[in-house]
Structure 1
Amino acid sequence: MSRLQAREITDADQARRLVEERGLSHVKVGMFDIDGVMLGKYMGREKFFSALEKGVAFCDVVLGWDSKDELYDNVRFTGWHTGYPDAPLRILPESCREVPAEGDMLLFLAEFDGRAEALCPRGVLRRVLARAAELGYTARAALEYEFFLFQETPESIREKGFRHLRPFTPDMMGYSMLRSSVHGELYHDLLGMAEAMDFPIEGLHTETGPGVLEAAIAVDEALAAADKAALFKTFTKVWAQRRGLMATFMAKWSPDYPGQSGHIHLSLREAAGGRSAFFDAAAPDRMSDVQRHFVAGQQALMPELLAMLAPTVNSYTRLIPGFWAPTDATWGVENRTTALRVIPGGDAAQRVEYRLGSADANPYLAMAAAIASGLHGIEHRLEPDPPVTGNAYDRDHPAHQALPRTLWEAAQRLRGSAAAREFFGDDFVEHFAATREWEERQFRRHITDWELERYFEII
C-alpha cells in the first residue's frame, strides 16, 4: 500500500492512517474566529483519533472575545452570563496539510458545530453556497492580497510604539523586477511554502509602497478558496516572523501609502453541465443575464453588507478617493476605479472582481457577503445602475450607492438588513453587528496622536 500524502486525505480513516504512518505523537488543529484569526492547539494522537469520530470542544470564549482577547460585553451567545461553556467543533479530515517548518507535522482545520455553527464564519459561507446550489450553481473564487513586510519583530514594533517602522524595502517600486530578483530567494521561499500548504500563489509582485507585495492565490471552489485565503494570511505572517520580518494585513498602516486590499474574483458555473453561468458570447461585454443580475445584487446590497468586507475601524481609512479603493457602490467593465469590476473573457474567465474588500477582512465572511448579494440579485432579477466609464472618483453618484463611512454606521446597516438576516441568519447578524459596535467603542476610548498634536496646546 502506497504512502498517503496530506492533500489526498478525504476521510477520517485516511487521516488516522497518515498520522500512524508518520508516527506522530501530536497534530495541529485550528479554526478561524469571527475576526478571521486562526486559533488552535497541538492535540495528542489518541485524542485526535477520538475527535475525528466524536468531535472536539473548545471554550466558547473564542466566540466571545475580540482580536486582543478582550471580552465582549454586548453579545448574547456567550459571556459571564453563560459561564463560557465549551462549544463543539468537528474536524475536517479533507483539510489536512503539511506544516513545512515543523518536519512531518500535520495541520487539520475544524469548524464549529451545534449552536455555535450559527456564528461560525466557515458555516456562514457554507450556508450561502448551499443556497447557490439550490439555484443550480456552484461558485468559484480566487482572492488576492496586498501586504506590507517590515524589518521588525513583535518585540521591536512594541518597543517603537508601532512608529518609525522600517519597511522591508524602500521607495515606491510597483511590479519591480529589481526587487523580486535581488530578494529572489525570499520570494521562492514564500512560493514554496504556499505550494506545500496547498494555497498556491499564481502571481506575486511588488505593489506601490515601500515593502508591499501582492499575492494572487489560485482559483478554486469557493469554500476551498476561502480556506486557502485564511491559511495564506496566517502562515504568511508565520513565514515572515520566522525570518526576522513582520507582515501586516492591516487595511491601512500609513496615511502616506495606498491601503491594502483583499480583492475577490468570483464566477458561477451551472451545476448541471458545468458551463459558465456568467458567459454569453452574444451579449454586451459577454455578460449573461445571470451575471448582470449577480452584479446588480452585489451593487444593491454593498452598503448593507459593508461591515463584513470592511470589519475594522482601520478599514474605513482606506476607503477614500484616489487611493485605489472604491468609495461608492459602483460597477464598470475593466474599470479599477469602481467597487465592482466586470472582467470579460471566455467560458473559463468571465468573472466579476469585488474590489471593495480590504486585506483585514475575514475571508469566509467577505466571500459570503460577495456571493450572497449576487444570489440576491439573481433571485430578484435585479438590474444594475449604468456602468461607470472613466474615473469613478471624479463624479457624483446616486445617494443609494453611498457606502457607510464608519464601522458603527456599517454595523447599523447590517443589523437592519433583511437580506443579511435571510442569508446569514438572525443569530449571526446580531452577534457580528454587536462585535463591530464593540470594536468601534474600543476605538473611542483612546486618544490619538493627531488629537494631542492638534488640541493639546492651542484649544
Structure 2
Amino acid sequence: MVPREVRSIDDAKRIIEERKLTHIKVGLFDNDGVMRGKYMSKAKFFASLEHGFAFCDVVLGWDVKDQLYDNTRYTGWHTGYPDAPVRIIPSSCRDVLDEDGMLLFIAEFAGEAETVCPRATLRRVIDKATAMGFNAQAAFEYEFFLFRETPHSAREKGFRNLETITPDWFGYSMIRNSTYSGLYKAILSMAETMDFPIEGIHSETGPGVIEAAIAVDQAADAADKAALFKTYMKVLAQKNELMATFMAKWSNDYPGQSGHIHLSLNHAADGSSAFYDASQPHAMSPLQRHFLAGQQRLMPVLLCMVAPSVNSYTRMIPGYWAPTDATWGVENRTTALRVIPGSAKSQRVEYRIGAADANPYLALAAALGSGLIGIEQGWEPSDPVTGNAYQQPHDDALSLPRTLWDATQAFKASDIAKSLFGEAFVEHFSASREWEDREFRKHVTDWELSRYFEII
C-alpha cells in the first residue's frame, strides 16, 4: 500500500505493519500555522487512531516564540494548560522527506479545543459550502526567500546582512533555475513525495526569491498541502545549509512575499462550475459575482486572518504588488481580488491580499467563508478597477486596516465573523493578535534609534 491510498483506520494500521515501523510521526498546526508534533510509538499510535490522544493545549495558548498569551480565555495559567483531545486524520498519511519509510499523519484538536483549532475552523466553513450545495477547490502559491544561512548564523548576525542564495533582481530567470537545477529538482521531488505537487516554480523578482504554485485540490486538502509545503520547504532548506523565510516582508529594500489563493466553486449535484457563464461579461456567473462581492465587502473585517502579523502590514504599500484596498479587477494584478476568466474548468478568483506568513487554514477560511456570505446575501461587487488600482481613489468602505491592531479590532467586533467562525474562535484569535501587537510595541526598532537617538 502507498501512503496516499490510506483512507481508514484499518488502512493506516496496514501500511504501518507493512513497513514494520516502530514509531510514526504525528503533527498538528497552531494559531500561526506552525506545525507542532512528535514521534509516537506504534502501540500508542494504533490506540490513538481508535480513540484519539491527549496533547497539551499550550500550543493553542502561545505565540511563535513559545511565549504564553496572557489574555486568552480558552487556555492559560488560569486553566493550568491541561491536555486537549486530538484526532488523527488517516487520509493525511504521507511519506516524509529524507526519513526512509517513515510516515506522517496530520491531526487536529477535538472537543472544546475544536472551537479554536485552525484546521477545524476551515472545516466548518467547508461544511457550510457543502450545505449550500457547493464543492470548493483551491490552490495556493507562495513566494519565499532563500539564504546561505543557518539558524545559528542568522542569529549570530542578528538577522542583519544575511546572504541571499542569488543576487540582484532576476524574475523568471532560466539562468537561475538552470544553475540551481539541483535545488529546484529537490523541491519538486519533495513535493511529489509528500503529495503537495507543484504546478510551477520559478525565480521571482528579487535576490534569492522563488515562487511556487501548488496544484489545485479540494479546499481541505489544498490547505493541508499549503501548510505542509511551508513546513517542509524550511526543512529541505536547512538540510542543505540554507534558510527559507515566508515573512511577509524581510527587508525594506525588496517587495513583500505573497501567499495568493485561487478559489472556485462547483455545484455538488453535477460537478459543473458555479462561476462560469459564457453568456455573461468575463464569463462571470451571478454566483461568482456574489461570491466576489462577499470577499470584497468582508475583506476589511477579516484581514487579520490573512495578514496575521505586525510584519504583514509592511507589505501592503502602493507599488509593491500588494493591495491596499479591497478592490477587484479582471486580470488586474494591482487589485486585491483578480477575476481570471476562462473555461468552466479554469474560471476562478485569485485572492491576492494574502501574505506568505498567513496560516493557510485561516486564510482559506476567510477567503472562502466571505464569498459564501456574499452568495447568501446576494451582494453585488463594486465596479471593477481598470488600470493601476494604486493610483485611483476608492470608496472609504473598501479601505483596509493599516495595522494589525486595527485589523484585529474590526475582526473582534464583527458579528458576521462570529457567525461564520464561531464566537469562541473570534475571541481566541483576536486575543492572540492583540498579544502579537503588544509584544511588538515592547521593542525599540532600528528605525527609532536612527531617527531619534541623537537628534530629538
Question: In which range does the TM-score fall when normalised by the shorter chain?
Answer: over 0.9
Counterpart of 2:245? Answer: 248
Matched to 1:155, the amino acid is H
Q: Structure 2: 5+ residue runs without aligned partners?
A: none
Distance in 1 of aligned mates of 2:300 and 2:275: 24
Quick check: 1:288 aligned with 2:300?
A: no
Counterparts of 1:415-454 in structure 2, within 5 Å, are 415-454=412-451
Distance in 1 of aligned mates of 2:78 and 2:190: 43
Which of 142, 150, 155 aligns to 1:153? It is 150
Counterpart of 2:227? Answer: 230
Distance in 1 of aligned mates of 2:413 and 2:45: 42
Quick check: 1:371 aligned with 2:371?
A: no
Quick check: 1:60 aligned with 2:57?
A: yes
Counterparts of 1:124-139 in structure 2, within 5 Å, are 124-139=121-136
What per-residue deviation string (whole Å, max 9, x for no partner) do you get for residues 390-442 of structure 1? 00000111100000000000000000111110110000000000100000000
Counterpart of 2:202? Answer: 205
Quick check: 1:218 aligned with 2:237?
A: no
Counterpart of 2:454? Answer: 457
Corresponding residue SS for 1:430: helix
Task: Please list every run of at least 4 consecutive aligned residues from structure 1 whose deviation after the TM superposition is greater than 3 angstroms.
Answer: none
Which of 38, 41, 44 aligns to 1:44? It is 41
Distance in 2 of aligned mates of 1:78 and 1:121: 15
Counterparts of 1:295-374 in structure 2, within 5 Å, are 295-374=292-371
What per-residue deviation string (whole Å, max 9, x for no partner) do you get for residues 297-347 of structure 1? 000000000000000000000000000000000000000000000000001
Corresponding residue SS for 2:135: strand
Distance in 1 of aligned mates of 2:159 and 2:302: 31
* CA deviation after TM superposition for structure 1 residue 257, in Å: 0.6
Distance in 1 of aligned mates of 2:337 and 2:352: 6
Distance in 1 of aligned mates of 2:301 and 2:181: 43
Counterpart of 1:75? Answer: 72
Distance in 2 of aligned mates of 1:134 and 1:7: 27
Counterparts of 1:392-403 in structure 2, within 5 Å, are 392-403=389-400
TM-score (norm. length: structure 2): 1.00
Corresponding residue SS for 2:169: coil
Counterpart of 1:88? Answer: 85
Corresponding residue SS for 2:90: strand
Task: State the aligned residue count.
Answer: 456
Corresponding residue SS for 1:102: coil
Distance in 2 of aligned mates of 1:436 and 1:186: 35
Matched to 1:318, the amino acid is R
Corresponding residue SS for 1:126: helix
Which of 168, 171, 175 aligns to 1:171? It is 168
Quick check: 1:274 aligned with 2:271?
A: yes
Which of 97, 109, 113 aligns to 1:112? It is 109
Q: Structure 1: 5+ residue runs without aligned partners?
A: none
User: RMSD across aligned C-alpha pairs, in angstroms?
Assistant: 0.4
Distance in 2 of aligned mates of 1:349 and 1:17: 38
* CA deviation after TM superposition for structure 1 residue 100, in Å: 2.9
Counterpart of 2:3? Answer: 6
Corresponding residue SS for 1:365: helix
Matched to 2:197, the amino acid is P
Corresponding residue SS for 1:224: helix
Matched to 1:72, the amino acid is Y
Distance in 2 of aligned mates of 1:298 and 1:32: 25
Distance in 2 of aligned mates of 1:121 and 1:161: 32
Distance in 1 of aligned mates of 2:135 and 2:19: 36
Matched to 1:452, the amino acid is L
Corresponding residue SS for 1:442: helix
Distance in 2 of aligned mates of 1:213 and 1:258: 12
What per-residue deviation string (whole Å, max 9, x for no partner) do you get for residues 187-207 of structure 1? 001100000000000100000
Matched to 1:457, the amino acid is E
* CA deviation after TM superposition for structure 1 residue 134, in Å: 1.1
Corresponding residue SS for 1:163: coil
Quick check: 1:383 aligned with 2:377?
A: no
Distance in 1 of aligned mates of 2:381 and 2:57: 41
Question: Percent same amino acid at aligned positions?
Answer: 68
What per-residue deviation string (whole Å, max 9, x for no partner) do you get for residues 252-271 of structure 1? 00011110000000000000
